[in-house]
Chains A and B, each alone.
Chain A
Amino acid sequence: MTNSTVISVKNLVKKFGSFVANDNLTFEVYEGEIFGFLGANGAGKTTALRILSGLSEPTSGEVYVAGFSAKKDPEKIKRKIGYMCQKFSLYEDLTAKENIMLFGGIYGMTKKLIKGRTEELFARLNFMEHGNRLISDLPLGLKQKLAFSVALLHEPRIVFLDEPTGGVDPVTRRDFWEMIYETAARGITLFVTTHYMDEAEYCDRVSIMSEGKIVALDTPDELKRQYNAASVEEVFVKIARPGGAHPPGPLLPEREGGAN
Chain B
Amino acid sequence: MENVIRATGISRRFEAVQALKDISFDVGEGEIFGFIGSDGAGKTTLFRIITTLLLPDEGEMTIMGLDHRSGFRELRRNIGYMPGRFSLYQDLTVEENMNFYATVFGTTVRENYDLISGIYSHIEPFKKRLAGKLSGGMKQKLALSCALIHKPRLLVLDEPTTGVDAVSRFEFWEMLKKLMKYNITIVVSTPYMDEAMRCDRVALIQNGGILTIEKPENIRKAFSRKLFSVRAREKYRLINALRNHHGTVTAYPFGDSVHATFNEDRIDDSLYEYLSGKGISEVTISELEPGIEDRFLELMSPELIPPLKGVGGM
Binding site for B on A (CB under 8 A): 39-42, 86, 139-141, 163, 166-172, 174, 177-178, 181, 185, 195-198, 201-202, 220-221, 231-233, 236-237, 240-241
Complex alpha-carbon distance, A74 and B301, angstroms:
46
In the complex, whether B25 has a CB less than 8 A from a CB of chain A is: no
Given contacts A168-B39, A170-B193, A221-B256, contact A41 B164 (CB under 8 A): yes
B151 to chain A, nearest CB (A): 29
Contact A42 B135 (CB under 8 A): yes
Among candidates A40, A86, A197, residue contacting B168 with C-beta atoms closer than 8 Å:
A40
B136 to chain A, nearest CB (A): 4
Nearest B residue (CB) for A231: B255
Among candidates B191, B252, B256, residue contacting A174 with C-beta atoms closer than 8 Å:
B252
Contact B166 A41 (CB under 8 A): no
A-B contact sample (7 more), CB < 8 A, given A170-B296, A174-B253, A233-B166: A41-B135, A167-B191, A174-B252, A195-B165, A231-B256, A236-B167, A237-B170
Interface mask (B223-261 → A, CB under 8 Å = 1, otherwise 0): 000000000000110010000000000001111100000
Given contacts A202-B235, A220-B256, contact A172 B38 (CB under 8 A): yes
Among candidates B38, B136, B254, B297, residue contacting A42 with C-beta atoms closer than 8 Å:
B136
Contact A237 B38 (CB under 8 A): no
In the complex, whether B28 has a CB less than 8 A from a CB of chain A is: no
Complex alpha-carbon distance, A201 and B255, angstroms:
5
Binding site for A on B (CB under 8 A): 37-41, 135-137, 159, 162-170, 191-193, 206, 235-236, 239, 252-256, 293, 296-297, 300-301
**A139 neighbours in B (Cβ, 8 Å):** 40
Nearest B residue (CB) for A224: B256
A132 to chain B, nearest CB (A): 16
Nearest B residue (CB) for A240: B167
Among candidates A181, A185, A231, A241, residue contacting B167 with C-beta atoms closer than 8 Å:
A241
B283 to chain A, nearest CB (A): 15
28 contacts between A and B (CB under 8 A): A39-B165, A40-B137, A40-B168, A41-B135, A41-B165, A42-B135, A42-B137, A86-B163, A140-B38, A163-B163, A168-B39, A168-B191, A170-B38, A171-B301, A174-B252, A195-B164, A197-B255, A198-B254, A202-B253, A202-B255, A221-B256, A231-B255, A231-B256, A233-B166, A236-B166, A237-B170, A240-B165, A241-B167
